Amino acid sequence: MVFFCFLVDQKRMVRSSKPVAGICSRCGGCASVADMQTSTRFCYVPVHRRSWRAIICTFCGALLKSYR
């Protein structure tokens, strides 16, 4: 019998962030520009890592804008 492992998960991390002018459209909190890193793991082995920049809300964590 063969067991396939379809365990794929994606982790989003904020590496650093700093306040930027603007407010969240969802909660009205302060926005900040953040260096994000998304790592995709397959069976707990990191297979892909991507760094990107986004404007996020520091209060509710909403993604307001992303730069690719």
Q: Which residues bind Zn ion (CB under 5 A)?
A: 24, 26-27, 29, 57, 59-60, 62
Report the SS3 class of residue 28: coil
Closest to Zn ion by CB, 4 vs 18, is 18
Strand partners, 17: 34
Q: How far is the CB of 55 from Zn ion (least distance, A)?
A: 11
Cα dist from 54 to 5, 39, 65, whole Å: 32, 16, 6
Closest to Zn ion by CB, 39 vs 64, is 64
Closest to Zn ion by CB, 46 vs 61, is 61
